[in-house]
């Protein structure tokens, strides 16, 4: 205990010296002397101070070099000596520990080989595997301590969070697949300056999920092994067992014998056993193979399958006696064969219907007249102006006898009122002539086409065709106004433009700078298309920055950030421009990044107090003004 007290006293003297701090413990000064205000300052280091809890590192009891020779703390092979000292708190740099009280210096930190005792430092550490950086304990002033450079290197992992180095917040530690990704993923770590990595590791490029690369320390052989110190940490990584039958997902765990094999499932050929042998997500999905189902009526084809008990069966319909039902009951290749045949080529022989009887409907495009079959448009041998028109009648002739008198002009039959081809205002008018075309009846509205696209309601006026003039104009700059010719208009959208919800937009125009809607005429001229990935937008969330479109949909999203400065006396809020506001609350002072209530005394100089009117520094207590 006496040695412990001496080391604590030495630490109290060395920490301010190591950090370059200046502090006065003199009596209160009057207004003619020093103001009493002043904060501790420290030179910028290679690492920014990291505020940590005792889970990360214990409170420092000593400074580096206070009676301990760093070389005495190293094993013969140059690594940190982790031999546990059972006689009391360990005073050897690098010895094993479980918590801060196990170390004489009160500093127990995580390393790649378990938790070890470390020490405070000024600029250097006794081992190249440690880095002298500033840390802070529980919000205290920062002090320099030796922390392992790569405490999680090669640990099995599932995500980047498993690899985070809590003592080096600026170090990017990624969860990286092994050289064979099926073997799992392991923690890498950002290379030190100059691409430096521990022995057995090389500094290589790792592709990031959002694009770009990161320099990470990777094992030379692309694979990591478990260390003995990890056997009780429950470290797990995802893996895949793959063979000719498929791939099964599993896990590997660090144990006393190293990494377990990937398990538990191994792909196998699918069999009828009510299980998913090949890990494809389906049970008993054996390959379908053609099989025969045979009985006294014939043979029908089936397919192999599994029943509910897991036995292999031939599934399908069994042969049955042929019935008048339109089905191929005996699997002979033809339904209802040998029945209902009336020997006519223009009828279908159908066995079935509502009464399960034979019917012989006349085929499409055919006529059955007086017991004789005729093809569509066949002429009545007895009268040339009659023919088979199945859409009118399948059992009688269609022609002049059905539509009234007709015309026979230029060797063709024309029903009354029929127009001359390409000249609709000349028509068959049997009352005037049965052998020549006549002008249309002025008392009958006869539609025609005068050949002009901007006229409508075209009608015959005797032998002439004329229509009413009209124009087309929709008032939109991105459409062509076209008269169709039937009294209607068309307004096709011009190339390189969009017409969306009645408004014109040029190709590439966005609905607004806040959305991801863009006119892409090649994709759609009537709907918004998604803007290209990376296009700036506004997701209306003040706590995101660099909002951009994702390119696959119309969504806009930004990178979330937090404005929590970890101070209880400030009000934290996100600004819409990606910045933060941390406003000091009324009745508080923020001095040296610590909160003090109005009237609170300086813990190191009771003659100085927090004055809310001067929130940035100490003020003289009322009795000394």
What's the distance, Cα to Cα, between the start and end of the chain in Å? 44
Task: Provide long-range contacts, Cβ within 8 A and 24+ apart, for 553-557.
Answer: 553/516, 554/515, 554/516, 554/517, 554/528, 554/530, 555/516, 556/514, 556/515, 556/516
C-alpha distance from residue 290 to each of 271, 303, 544 (Å): 16, 5, 60
Extents of the domains making up the chain: 1-148, 497-560, 570-624
**DSSP assignment string, 218-281:** EETTS-----GGGTTTT-EEEEEEEETTEEEEEEEEEETTEEPPSBS-------SSSS-TT-SS
Which residue has tokens 């066949």? Answer: 378
Read off the pLDDT band of 344 (50, 70, 90). Answer: very high
- Of 55-69, 249-263, 600-614, give the lowest mean pLDDT range: 55-69
Contact call for residues 98 and 109 (beta carbons, < 8 A) = no
Contact call for residues 157 and 174 (beta carbons, < 8 A) = no
Cα–chain center distance at 407 = 73
Q: pLDDT tens across 115-148, in order?
A: 999 999 999 999 888 999 888 776 678 889 999 9
Average pLDDT over residues 162-166: 88
- Of 64-78, 415-429, 518-532, give the lowest mean pLDDT range: 64-78
10 Å Cβ neighbour count for 478? Answer: 22
DSSP state of 403: H
Average pLDDT over residues 320-345: 83
Q: Which residue has the higher pLDDT, 207 or 83?
A: 207
DSSP state of 522: T
Report pTM. Answer: 0.40
Residue 264: is the preceding peptide bond cis (ω within 30°)?
yes
Which residue has tokens 């969504």? Answer: 555
Q: Which residue has the higher pLDDT, 167 or 154?
A: 154
User: What share of the chain in percent tops pLDDT 90?
Assistant: 40
Average pLDDT over residues 515-535: 92
Q: What is the pLDDT of residue 400?
A: 55
Q: What is the pLDDT of residue 410?
A: 84
pLDDT surpasses 70 at 69: no
pLDDT surpasses 80 at 169: no
**Helix (H), strand (E) at residue 406:** strand 406-409
| DSSP reduced 3-state for 13 | helix
Three-point CA angle 206, 212, 215, nearest 5°: 35
Contact call for residues 276 and 289 (beta carbons, < 8 A) = no
pLDDT surpasses 70 at 16: no
Q: pLDDT tens across 347-394, in order?
A: 998 887 667 788 889 999 999 999 999 999 998 887 677 789 999 999
- What is the Cα–Cα distance from 164 to 173, expressed in whole angstroms? 6
Q: What is the pLDDT of residue 356?
A: 73
Q: What is the pLDDT of residue 452?
A: 87
Q: What is the pLDDT of residue 83?
A: 47
Read off the pLDDT band of 175 (50, 70, 90). Answer: very high
Q: Edge to edge, what strands does the sheet with 398-399 contain?
A: 379-380, 383-387, 398-399
| Chain mean pLDDT for the chain | 81
pLDDT surpasses 60 at 241: yes
Read off the pLDDT band of 159 (50, 70, 90). Answer: very high
Phi, psi torsion values for 193, nearest 5 degrees: -50, 135
Q: What is the pLDDT of residue 625?
A: 55
DSSP state of 15: H
pLDDT surpasses 50 at 491: yes
pLDDT surpasses 80 at 284: yes
């Amino acid at each position: 205990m006496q040695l412990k007290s001496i080391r604590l006293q030495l630490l109290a003297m060395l920490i301010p010296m190591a950090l370059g701090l200046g502090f006065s413990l003199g009596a209160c000064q009057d207004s003619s002397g020093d103001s009493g205000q002043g904060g501790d300052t420290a030179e910028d280091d290679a690492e920014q101070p990291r505020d940590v809890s005792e889970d990360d590192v214990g409170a420092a009891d000593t400074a580096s070099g206070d009676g301990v020779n760093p070389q005495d703390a190293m094993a013969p092979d140059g690594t940190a000596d982790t031999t546990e000292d059972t006689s009391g708190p360990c005073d050897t740099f690098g010895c094993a520990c479980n918590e801060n009280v196990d170390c004489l210096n009160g500093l127990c930190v995580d390393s790649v080989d378990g938790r070890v005792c470390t020490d405070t430092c000024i600029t250097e550490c006794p081992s190249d595997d440690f880095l002298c950086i500033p840390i802070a304990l529980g919000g205290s002033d920062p002090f320099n301590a030796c922390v392992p450079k790569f405490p999680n290197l090669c640990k099995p992992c599932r995500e980047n969070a498993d690899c985070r180095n809590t003592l080096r917040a600026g170090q990017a530690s990624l969860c990286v697949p092994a050289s064979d990704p099926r073997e799992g993923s392991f923690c890498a770590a950002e290379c030190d300056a100059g691409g430096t990595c521990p022995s057995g590791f090389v500094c290589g490029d790792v592709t990031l999920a959002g694009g770009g690369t990161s320099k990470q320390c990777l094992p030379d052989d692309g694979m990591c092994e478990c260390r003995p110190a990890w056997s009780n940490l429950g470290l797990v990584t995802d893996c895949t067992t793959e063979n000719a039958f498929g791939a099964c997902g599993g896990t590997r765990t660090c144990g006393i014998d190293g990494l377990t094999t990937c398990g538990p499932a191994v792909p196998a050929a699918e069999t009828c056993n009510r299980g998913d042998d090949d890990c494809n997500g389906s049970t008993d999905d054996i390959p379908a193979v053609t099989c025969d189902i045979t009985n006294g009526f014939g043979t029908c084809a089936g397919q192999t399958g599994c029943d509910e008990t897991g036995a292999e069966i031939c599934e399908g319909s069994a042969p049955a006696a042929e019935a008048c039902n339109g089905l191929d009951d005996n699997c002979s290749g033809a339904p209802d064969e040998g029945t209902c045949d009336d020997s006519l080529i223009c009828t279908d022989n159908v066995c079935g219907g509502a009464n399960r009887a034979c019917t012989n409907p006349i085929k499409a495009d055919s006529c059955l007249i007086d017991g004789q079959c005729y093809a569509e448009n066949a002429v009545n041998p007895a009268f040339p102006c009659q023919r088979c028109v199945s859409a009118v009648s399948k059992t009688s002739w269609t022609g002049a006898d059905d539509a009234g008198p007709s015309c026979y002009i230029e060797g063709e039959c024309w029903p009354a009122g029929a127009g001359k081809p390409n000249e609709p205002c000349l028509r068959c008018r049997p009352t005037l002539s049965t052998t020549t075309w006549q002008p249309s009846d002025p008392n009958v509205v006869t539609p025609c086409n005068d050949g002009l696209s901007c006229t409508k309601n075209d009608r015959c006026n005797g032998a002439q065709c004329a229509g009413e003039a009209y124009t087309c104009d929709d008032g939109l700059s991105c459409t062509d106004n076209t008269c169709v010719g039937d009294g209607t208009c068309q307004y096709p959208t011009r190339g390189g433009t969009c017409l969306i919800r009645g408004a014109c937009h040029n190709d590439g125009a966005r609905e607004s700078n806040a959305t991801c809607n863009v006119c892409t005429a090649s994709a759609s001229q009537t709907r918004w298309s998604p803007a290209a990935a990376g296009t700036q937008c506004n997701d209306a969330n003040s706590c995101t920055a660099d909002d951009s479109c994702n390119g696959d949909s119309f969504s806009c999203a930004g990178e979330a950030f937090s404005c929590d400065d970890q101070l209880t006396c400030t009000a934290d809020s996100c600004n819409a421009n990606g910045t933060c506001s941390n406003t000091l609350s009324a009745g508080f002072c923020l001095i040296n990044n610590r909160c003090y209530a109005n009237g609170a005394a300086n813990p190191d100089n009771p003659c100085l107090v927090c004055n809310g009117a001067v929130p940035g520094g100490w003020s003289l207590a009322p009795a000394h003004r």
